[in-house]
Structure 1
Amino acid sequence: MILISLFFSELEPQNLLFMENFTLLESMSVLEIGEPRLDSGLIIEEQVQPPFNPIAPLLPEEVCWILDRALAYETEFHAGNFLAHTVHTLLYVHHLRDIDPDVAFIASASKTDPSRPLELLTIVLRAAVQGLLKCCDCAWRELAKGGAYDTEDWQSDKCEVSLLEGVPVPFIIKKLDDAVNWLSQSSQVPPHWRSALQARLQLRKSLLQVMNADPAHDRLEFQNRVSLAKEHLRRLQIGQPPDIEPDSLAQFAFDPYIGRRLQMANPIRVVPPPTFQQTCQTLHHFLDGLHEVGILETVDDLTTWDTIGYLRLWLPDPPLRTPYLRSRIQSTFYDGFLLLNRYSFDWMINRFFQETVGITYDSIKATIISRWTSGGEPPLKKLERSLHTLLTPHIRALWHNPPRRRRHFMKSLVEWQNFYDTLVNIRNNLDVENMPQGQLLRQLPNVALLWRLSIIREVVLSGFQLELYAKEERSFAYWYAAQVMEVHLQCLDSLLPMVQAESSVQLEMSYQIQLLTALQCLCTTSSLVCMPLTSFDSARTYPSFFRRYKWAFREEYDNFQNPVVAQPELHKFIHLCGETLKTGNPIPSGPIVLARSILLGLIESNNSGGWAGVWASDRIQFLHNLVSACDNLSHLPMILNQMNTFDASLLKWDPAVHPWFPFTS
């Protein structure tokens, strides 16, 4: 910066100075604007650090402290921060060559302190830093596949710093093993710190092995490695984290302003590292997520994937998976060639019908062909193309970040309507009169509606979780969600008698009927108590309505032969509000009591549906959370006079309390 300033001071008016790699960014950086985050050349006194000496010997506890802090920064990278603000702040990342054993021993002319053996740098710390960088490389490669979105979920900028992309994983694992072996044989490291360092190195080795492994190739080995990583993490938590002095050399191993010396176009931001306990908790969730990846890889049921995708957003604990884990799950489901690394799209279509109504697509296809009454061939190819377009993106979208997932669902509703329209046209051209009353083909369009209506419900309710609705929009949103659930219940009631008793399909339908009934009660009540917040100014209400529900009024819907089911209708809601005001305010506590009773019945019967699998406990927890939502609304008016004086401003919404429903303050 000083050199550039001198060049500028010597320039004559109307002259230009050209230098290699000197761009507009560098020229603008010359100007001191007094803002450290934007002016990388401005260094205030508090940011000045002594020169870093990478071969300065360290105590074992100082090396432990550095490894813990580096691990904390790694979790911050997984949380979506830049490498330059997290992992790259570790200065040893940029001085790996300096702590190479051959180079370091030559540079270290004086005899080292026996309590600070140079091998702690050249063998232990160097192997740990290499493992850290390779783990970041594995994460970067996974995230770059497109399951997560650059600059939205994660930051891909490496700032031209190597993540050891060309170094094979087995080579680094051998270096980690060598470091563990050196510690076990060294008499220079006290036993306590020897065990602490070994635990950290073994945890790093396990993390690298898990992140580099593919569960589809060796399921048992993958799960064993995850379990081993959990065991190493528990070992690490047994001991107290190292506490070093403020003037320790380890304190200067991190430079939060390293971005000044890197090829980086973003403002510098100091990311405070989480505490040791927070880091361990984050790693527990990370390893739990990897464990879930290994289990999901064994699941051949689309509806189970669908169920778990929803539960991961509805339940606050465990928290929403990191971008790396969400991308890893998407890659496990579909790698661009095969589903679950072993199935074709034909398998997926068969599973879709089998799990929805208990009959394979091959059977349905044969019946359609045998009973087709119209000219030409039935539009089965169109039906199959629709499912190809819908199902894989739908499952993958369940692990997008919440706003992008909601956008995907809104856009996909047109394709689901196309699928529904195709099924209606097929049903209308079949010899239905000679079919038995229980023949599934009579209700064939409801197969599409079951999935489409659940997506609409999620789109509407997720608006509360994302805090999108203004106070005057909430009553209609709850009312519309209740209307969607009513149609959904009608579809389930029409299909339930046609599926095999005690089958997974029948158990799932029974669960959904009870759950939707309880949710409908909660939505109806929430709509009633929010009604006083509604604005009836048409100049404000109608434009707001069409902006919020523009996904339901796209031009593409005009191309279909059959009307769209369960459209949002504001005029019906306004009419309902008028009737409610004329007849008097209804008492909202009754539906809450009914909903609570239904939910408790589901919990006591341990009915978690037919497709929950090993995640049945998560579904039960979801039901418990809904019971808590009922309890939070238990103070609503019980008699008509209380409802007339109820203050709707007492209602509060907090996704941390419940993602959808309010509570009374």
Structure 2
Amino acid sequence: MGAFEIGEPRFDSGMMSENPPAEFRPLMPLFPQEVCWIMDRIFACEMEWHVGYTLSQTIFSCHYVHNLHYIDPEFVDPAAITIDLSHSSDAPTPRFDESHPPELVTRVLLGSVMALLKCCDLVWRELSKDNIIDTEDWQSEKCDVSMKEGYPVRHILNLLDAGIYWVETYQTSDPTWGDAREALLSRLRFRKLPQLLLQIFDTLLSKSYFSLEPLIASARAELRILRKTHTEPSPESPARTAFDPQLARSLNSFIPLHVIEISTQNATWDKMEAWLEGLSEMGLLASTEDISTWEIVGHLQTWVPDPNRLRPYVRSATISAFSDGVLRIDRDPHKYLLEEWLYERLDTSLGTFQEALSTRWRAAGQPLMSDLQEPLRQLLAAHIKGSWYNGPRRRRHYMKSLVHWHELCVTLQHVSSCIEPVQGADVVVQVSRLALSYRLSIIREIIFSGFQLELYNAEERVFAYWYAVQVIGANLEVWHAMLVGLGEGKQDTKAAQELKWQIGFFRAVQALSSAIFAVTLKQLKSPWERLQLNCARRYKWASVDEYDDSDIAPTGHPDFWGFTRACQAIIQDEAFSPAACVADAKQMTTELSNGRCGGWAGRWCSDRLQFTRRLIDVCDGLSGLPENMKEAASFDPSYLKWDLAVHPWFPKLVQPSS
């Protein structure tokens, strides 16, 4: 009751409007254009459910969902279509005729609503696999309304086929039926195509993913027709009574609800186009067996988020495809991920690593490979899946995983100390470096996710940029050592190309972070003791008790007093130039964007290059930063504006108006 008393907008007191909704009659006669409009608005409701609203607020607000037994031709009374269907007793009696035959409701609309509910059923099954979080990404509550769970997909497709056949063969002298016929067919076909896609997702057979692209191409063609044939009925049209946003108040629900605004139809088509694009990308990714590509795409979808493409269903289906689909993780759990990981990142094999351990071990009690393989496999699988979580969940997952990555690094360091050293490339040392590079990369992602989630206040941003400089610097050292460790003959391999791209890109990110850190120092106004407490709270993941069990200090954890020394040192550094850092970053990103994408980006090279070019735009937007620290002393950091639409990590410099 406290939430109601303070006017919490997410809650609904349940009070009905003073104006009751218009009476709904399931068998009211409708023109084809009105049926098309109802089907279009059903699509709009469905897309709102995909966003994360409840079924009761969206799809269940359609009266036809609750009155299917009244419009089913197997049960409807033939006399019902000839009785008075007017809204008032003194109005003329409308009857079905050739302009609005009853089959528009009992065949076309019935099949469309049944297909809608079955689509929701199959989507619900995918979303309920715990790949994503109920109530955080989507709402699982069905409000005691059937979604045709017991109906086979083939039965629903037969209903759609029957509706399509009737529309194609219906004969009428009404001249308006020419355009209306094609509009109806497009909507029925479009409803049928996503149904097939959902059927493919539900089977989770790897061979099914290869049939996604032609289906999506057909869906896009139908969507173009839908955009051209949408019409709005008059305000007095009986079709408008088919939806009641307050209907949810009469359903069984445990979630306090409020009336939501359904998107406009053009916005719905845009969302559906982006949703199809997300499904298409998922299909392409499901045919990719390079786990580095999965990781790269996961990072890109986080760095440049498109909420319309990354609906919860797409993210859940992507995780399912990775776990149970084409990668065959469950069928080859111990070798597949590790084989690919070592080959793609170090251009070596699991057998080479195992042989090095067995032949060079000099300590008592040779370690079991399973003690290394299984934890590493689980970490890799969870890491890639975590890339497809929502932003806050991804950040929390990475924080929790850091302890396990540290334990792996400690184990690998112990193994490295127990083997005979060799001249030249050492695969065991390389694997230890690779694990450390992953841990440092995860810390970097945690830092920058704070900017995307808008978690930092002004003082916290200063520390975050300094901390990013330190973590990226440590990671660059590891990457350089890995690149040298590959040897002279492997500098053109994909593993080397990927390392070179990572080094080039994050050197630019480091330079920009250094510049922003230097020019925002003036925003530190609290005492050091207070800042230390704030830092400990923000980075509490670095002080969990599990680290006390290790005799090796974790690499890359925040050092607040090192930060205070850096603040004092950079103020006195006459040679440091924020503007030069920005210029260096622009040069590095320009070289990257003009060169080969390289590495393991694969089909997503253009997306990676696009994000690189966005960094060039950031450099252009920061070109007015001070030339030296003397000028920085008079620089006003309030001119820096953080805008996620411009860049997820860095601000733009907004010059004061004259």
What interval of TM-score do these two structures reach, taking the shorter chain for normalisation? Answer: over 0.9
Select which of 181, 184, 198 maps to 2:185. 198
Quick check: 1:535–1:541 contact (8 Å CA) kept in 2?
no
User: In the alignment, does 2:362 pair up with 1:357?
Assistant: no
Quick check: 2:451–2:648 contact (8 Å CA) kept in 1?
yes
- Residue 60 of structure 1: aligned partner: 32
- Residue 69 of structure 1: aligned partner: 41
Q: Deviations over 1:466-522 (max 9, x none)?
A: 111110111111111111111111111111123222111011011111111111101
User: In the alignment, does 2:132 pair up with 1:148?
Assistant: yes
- Residue 643 of structure 1: aligned partner: 632
Q: Deviations over 1:41-73 (max 9, x none)?
A: x32323x12321101111111101101111001
CA RMSD between the two structures:
2.2
- 5 Å-filtered alignment, 1:530-569, equals 530-569=520-559
Quick check: 1:304–1:613 contact (8 Å CA) kept in 2?
yes
Quick check: 1:460–1:477 contact (8 Å CA) kept in 2?
yes
How much has 1:372 moved relative to structure 2?
0.3
- Residue 80 of structure 2: aligned partner: 107
Letter in 1 for 2:40: D
Select which of 378, 385, 409 maps to 2:374. 385
How much has 1:97 moved relative to structure 2?
0.7
- Residue 609 of structure 1: aligned partner: 598
Quick check: 2:582–2:622 contact (8 Å CA) kept in 1?
yes
**The residue matched to 1:50 in structure 2 has which SS?**
coil
Select which of 568, 574, 585 maps to 1:595. 585
Residues 451-460 or 382-391, more deviating: 382-391
How much has 1:559 moved relative to structure 2?
1.5
CA distance in structure 2 between the aligned counterparts of 1:35 and 1:542, rounded to whole angstroms: 36
Letter in 2 for 1:38: D
Quick check: 2:575–2:628 contact (8 Å CA) kept in 1?
no
Quick check: 1:608–1:616 contact (8 Å CA) kept in 2?
yes
Kindly tell me: are residues 497 and 539 of structure 1, through their superposed partners in 2, closer, same or farther at Cα, counting changes over 3 Å? closer
- Residue 395 of structure 1: aligned partner: 384
Quick check: 1:552–1:568 contact (8 Å CA) kept in 2?
yes
Select which of 84, 87, 97 maps to 2:69. 97
- Residue 421 of structure 1: aligned partner: 410
**The residue matched to 1:85 in structure 2 has which SS?**
coil
- Residue 433 of structure 2: aligned partner: 446
- Residue 310 of structure 1: aligned partner: 299
CA distance in structure 1 between the aligned counterparts of 2:9 and 2:47, rounded to whole angstroms: 28
User: In the alignment, does 2:604 pair up with 1:630?
Assistant: no
Kindly tell me: are residues 430 and 340 of structure 1, through their superposed partners in 2, closer, same or farther at Cα, counting changes over 3 Å? closer
TM-score normalised by length of structure 2: 0.92
Residues 209-218 or 397-406, more deviating: 209-218
Quick check: 1:427–1:444 contact (8 Å CA) kept in 2?
no
How much has 1:579 moved relative to structure 2?
2.1
How much has 1:225 moved relative to structure 2?
1.4
User: In the alignment, does 2:276 pair up with 1:287?
Assistant: yes
CA distance in structure 1 between the aligned counterparts of 2:363 and 2:629, rounded to whole angstroms: 58
How much has 1:640 moved relative to structure 2?
5.2
Kindly tell me: are residues 336 and 291 of structure 1, through their superposed partners in 2, closer, same or farther at Cα, counting changes over 3 Å? closer
How much has 1:261 moved relative to structure 2?
2.1
Select which of 455, 466, 471 maps to 2:442. 455
Letter in 2 for 1:177: D
User: In the alignment, does 2:408 pair up with 1:431?
Assistant: no
CA distance in structure 1 between the aligned counterparts of 2:628 and 2:326, rounded to whole angstroms: 61
**The residue matched to 1:213 in structure 2 has which SS?**
helix
- 5 Å-filtered alignment, 1:210-221, equals 210-214=197-201, 216-221=206-211
Select which of 22, 41, 44 maps to 2:17. 44
Letter in 2 for 1:486: G
Kindly tell me: are residues 208 and 119 of structure 1, through their superposed partners in 2, closer, same or farther at Cα, counting changes over 3 Å? same
Letter in 1 for 2:480: D
Identity of matched residues, %: 36
How much has 1:219 moved relative to structure 2?
3.5
- Residue 336 of structure 2: aligned partner: 347
Q: Deviations over 1:365-390 (max 9, x none)?
A: 11111100001112532211321331
Unpaired runs of 5+ residues, structure 2, are 84-94
How much has 1:260 moved relative to structure 2?
2.4
How much has 1:343 moved relative to structure 2?
4.1
Kindly tell me: are residues 615 and 586 of structure 1, through their superposed partners in 2, closer, same or farther at Cα, counting changes over 3 Å? same
Kindly tell me: are residues 34 and 543 of structure 1, through their superposed partners in 2, closer, same or farther at Cα, counting changes over 3 Å? closer
CA distance in structure 2 between the aligned counterparts of 1:614 and 1:227, rounded to whole angstroms: 18
Select which of 645, 651, 654 maps to 1:662. 651
Quick check: 2:465–2:513 contact (8 Å CA) kept in 1?
yes
Letter in 2 for 1:43: M
Select which of 109, 115, 139 maps to 1:131. 115
Letter in 2 for 1:658: H
**The residue matched to 1:63 in structure 2 has which SS?**
helix
CA distance in structure 1 between the aligned counterparts of 2:330 and 2:269, rounded to whole angstroms: 32
CA distance in structure 1 between the aligned counterparts of 2:577 and 2:337, rounded to whole angstroms: 47
**The residue matched to 2:324 in structure 1 has which SS?**
coil
Quick check: 2:571–2:629 contact (8 Å CA) kept in 1?
no
How much has 1:230 moved relative to structure 2?
1.5
How much has 1:206 moved relative to structure 2?
0.2
Residues 463-472 or 581-590, more deviating: 581-590
Unpaired runs of 5+ residues, structure 1, are 1-24
- Structure 1 runs, 4 residues or longer, greater than 6 Å off: 33-36
CA distance in structure 2 between the aligned counterparts of 1:377 and 1:258, rounded to whole angstroms: 68
**The residue matched to 2:124 in structure 1 has which SS?**
helix
Q: Deviations over 1:134-157 (max 9, x none)?
A: 111111111000111111110011
Q: Deviations over 1:588-623 (max 9, x none)?
A: 000110010010001111x22310000000000110
CA distance in structure 1 between the aligned counterparts of 2:330 and 2:263, rounded to whole angstroms: 37
Kindly tell me: are residues 39 and 513 of structure 1, through their superposed partners in 2, closer, same or farther at Cα, counting changes over 3 Å? closer
TM-score normalised by length of structure 1: 0.91
How much has 1:95 moved relative to structure 2?
0.6
How much has 1:36 moved relative to structure 2?
12
Select which of 217, 231, 239 maps to 1:227. 217
- Residue 17 of structure 1: aligned partner: none
- Residue 103 of structure 2: aligned partner: 119
Select which of 500, 515, 518 maps to 1:528. 518
Residues 394-403 or 528-537, more deviating: 528-537
Residues 649-658 or 125-134, more deviating: 649-658
Letter in 2 for 1:551: W
Q: How many residues align?
A: 630
